[in-house]
Amino acid sequence: MLLLGALRGDRERVVRVALALAATVVATIIAVLAVRSLADATHAAATTVIVLGGSAVVLGFFLAPVLSGTTDQLDPRRFGVFGVDERTMPLTLGLAAFVSVPSLALIVLDVATAATAISLGAPWPLAVLGAVLSLLIAVFAARVGMMLSALLLPERRSRELTSLFALAVIVVAVPVGVFTASLRWDGDVPGPLRLAATVLGFTPLGAATAFPLLAAAGDTAGAWVSGLVAVVTAAIVLAGWVLLVRRALHSTDRPTTVRERPGLGWFALLPANEFGAVAARSLVYWLRDRRYLVNVAIVPVAGVLTVIPLLVAGVPLPLAAALPVPVMALFFGWLAHNDVAYDSTALWVHVASGVRGAADRLGRLVPVLLFAIPVLAIAIPITLAVIGRWSLLPVFVGLSVSLLLCGMGLSSIASVISPYAVSRPGDSPFQQPQRGVSRGALGQAGTLVGAIVLSVPTIVLAWGALADPDRSVLAPLWTGIVTGVVVLAVGAFVGARVYERSGERLMEFVETV
């Protein structure tokens, strides 16, 4: 049986590797064809696409090892025990880094980029030099990123930490991608993309791909500056790789603390204090209890469904599309209004261990933020793309922050003042028990209505900016941020005081419902 399991595991591993290799080959072919097609485009369009793409490749090669947490097969510490000459090890391992699927794909792509630059009028020595520098910077940036990840981050990368990295990428990449896709070329390069390519062409990310194209455009001074930046960047990356290799060979591994043991999950990732413990326990509940998951899944659906009746009533799409984001922010802030009731008998851990009220109140809000931020970060750019006015970004950010944080602040109070019975763990999320009293309505309606009332100034300013393009978009931004932060702070403080004085009452509540 063990042999069959091992064979099955090897077969699955081979299939995964084959699929990954096939996907890499297909992606490389598509990228090469796309780059070669730029030879027939205008010089401005080709320069913009090539510089932006080259910058993304260098950044991706550096961040990929940090985000993925993969084991470095070329870690110098693996070869230190074989008596390899320390002076030649950086060069040996550096050359070995080029013998990999990503590096080979990058070589093919850089060759295509150099050929395209020559077609656009760049001198072939500069095009070849740019391709070589771009390859060196990307490959050794990946090596530096891998070494930094091994030295600075936990060696046993938890899924939770990787999830946070992926979350950060989503929060940043999705708005940028939607913004770029929403731009209209109209036969010319959009101003924001041209500006971004110009700036990146003089940075370590895009200088290597930019200076041959600047020379082709006749910008001699710009080509010299960009080329100098590319050469210095390559030298710094190579020097950094050599220093990191020597440091790895002459230093011991970081001691593994108790908190880094596998299996602790969020408890190992978050701070080792009351707030971190409450936040970790709440995250475990929110990510595994289907009662929480159903509530979270309903919020985006409810936000999108609000558009349908407005469209049926004849409201223009740009105005109707502005509603889902505030609705989602409002309901995300409202989700924690009865969090104590969902704890069931687990509340005794907080009360018996003497957890302070502030740690309890703020720790319970961490899952709300981890769910709300990426959803809103995706929804806001999509909304702006539908409306067609990217200048409204500060308006929606301010309005979302106000509704979200006001709801969270009021939820911190409502969950300890007026909790009400909910389905027990393991029961259907749609099964609601009978309630002997109606005080739960205070927490439900009070949190929802209160967040709207407290956000009225931000709503008024946001509506004015939406209706009149000449209105200031910064007023709703700062009004929403200040309102949300103040209400959250006051709500957490009041909720903490009530929690500390009502521990026995809350214990009795969760035991009897």
pTM exceeding 0.75: no
Sign of the CA dihedral with 119 first, then 122, 125, and 129 last: negative
3 state SS of 273: coil
Residues 6+ apart with CB under 8 A from 228: none
Contacts of 232 (CB under 8 A, 6+ apart): none
Answer whether residue 1 is part of any domain. no
Is the distance from CB of 414 to CB of 447 less than 8 angstroms? yes
| pLDDT score at 163 | 63
Range name among 20-34, 171-185, 279-293, 428-442 with the lowest pLDDT average: 428-442
184 phi and psi, to 5 degrees?
-105, 125
Instruction: In whole angstroms, give the CA distance from residue 50 to residue 213.
Output: 9
pLDDT at residue 160, rounded to an integer: 56
- Among 237-241, 437-441, 446-450, 464-468, the minimum mean pLDDT is found in 437-441
Residues 349 and 382 in one domain: yes
When pLDDT is averaged across residues 315-330 and rounded to a whole number, the result is: 87
In a domain, 296, yes or no: yes
Pick the residue with more confidence: 69 or 217? 217
- What distances in angstroms separate CA 96 from CA 76, 92, 104, 248, 279, one per listed residue? 12, 6, 12, 18, 44
Does 394 lie in the same domain as 285?
A: yes
Helix (H) or strand (E) holding 348: helix 347-352
Confidence at 2, pLDDT banded by 50, 70, 90: very low
Same domain, residue pair 218 and 268: no
Among 224, 254, 284, identify where a domain stops. Answer: 254
Q: Are residues 244 and 294 in the same domain?
A: no
The string of pLDDT tens digits covering residues 360-388 is: 888 888 888 888 888 888 888 888 888 88
For residues 192 and 282, the model is more confident at 282
- Do 243 and 279 lie in one domain? The reply is no
Q: Which of 254, 282, 308 is the last residue of a domain?
A: 254
The pLDDT tens digits of the residues spanning 393-441 come to 888 999 999 999 999 999 989 888 877 777 666 565 556 665 555 455 6
End-to-end CA distance of the chain: 48
Whole-number pLDDT of residue 404: 93
Please tell me the distance from the alpha carbon of residue 167 to that of residue 264, in angstroms, as a whole number: 20
pLDDT at residue 24 above 50? yes
**What is the span of the domain harbouring residue 488?**
264-512
Q: What angle do CA 206, 207, 211 make, to 5 degrees?
A: 125
What amino acid occupies position 436? G
- The answer to whether residues 227 and 269 belong to one domain is no
Tell which residue, 448, 438, 373, 374, has the closest CA to residue 411. 448
311 and 455 co-located in one domain: yes
Residue 136 contacts residue 237 (beta carbons within 8 Å): yes
Are 235 and 363 in the same domain? no
181 Cβ neighbours under 8 A, 6+ residues apart: 385
Query: Average of pLDDT values for 322-331?
Result: 91
The pLDDT confidence band at residue 260, using thresholds 50, 70 and 90, is very low
Q: What share of the chain is helix, strand, coil (3-state, %, to 5)?
A: 80, 0, 20
* Under 8 Å between Cβ of 398 and 472: no
Q: Which two tokens stand for residue 69?
A: 């947490």
DSSP code string of 131-154: HHHHHHHHHHHHHHHHHHHHHHS-
Residues in contact with 82: Cβ distance below 8 Å, sequence separation at least 6, in sequence order? none
Mean pLDDT of 269-274: 75
Q: Are residues 247 and 294 in the same domain?
A: no
Q: What is the mean pLDDT of the chain?
A: 78
> Is 195 part of a structural domain of the chain?
yes
**Is 4 a domain residue?**
no
Number of domains in the chain: 2
How many angstroms separate the Cα of 445 from the Cα of each of 63, 303, 305?
45, 18, 21
Cβ atoms of 446 and 333 within 8 Å: the answer is: no
Helix (H, G, I), strand (E, B) or coil at 83: coil
Instruction: Tell me the pLDDT band of 74, cut-offs 50, 70 and 90.
Output: low
| Of 81 and 288, the one with more pLDDT | 288
Residue 82 identity (one-letter amino acid): F
Local confidence band at 355 (pLDDT 50, 70, 90 cut-offs) = confident
Please state, in angstroms and rounded to a whole number, the distance separating the CA atoms of residues 225 and 407.
51
In a domain? residue 77 = yes
DSSP class of 99: S
Does position 37 have pLDDT exceeding 60, yes or no? yes
Domain assignment present for residue 7? The answer is: no
221 plus 93 within the same structural domain: yes
| Residue-wise DSSP of 165-210 | HHHHHHHHHHHHHHHHHH---TTS--HHHHHHHHHHTTSTTTHHHH
In this prediction, residue 4 carries a pLDDT of: 44
Q: What pLDDT was estimated at residue 261?
A: 46
Residue 213 and residue 282 in one domain: no
DSSP state of 230: H
Residue 295 covered by a domain = yes
Q: Which two tokens stand for residue 116?
A: 């395209």
Residue 455 confidence class, pLDDT cut points 50, 70, 90: very high
Distances 311 to 23, 30, 304, 385 between C-alpha atoms, Å? 41, 40, 12, 18
pLDDT at 410: 92
Residue 9 domain flag: no
Q: DSSP state, 159?
A: H
Q: Which of 254, 285, 318 is the last residue of a domain?
A: 254
Statement: residue 483 has pLDDT above 90: yes
Question: Do residues 208 and 342 both lie within one domain?
Answer: no
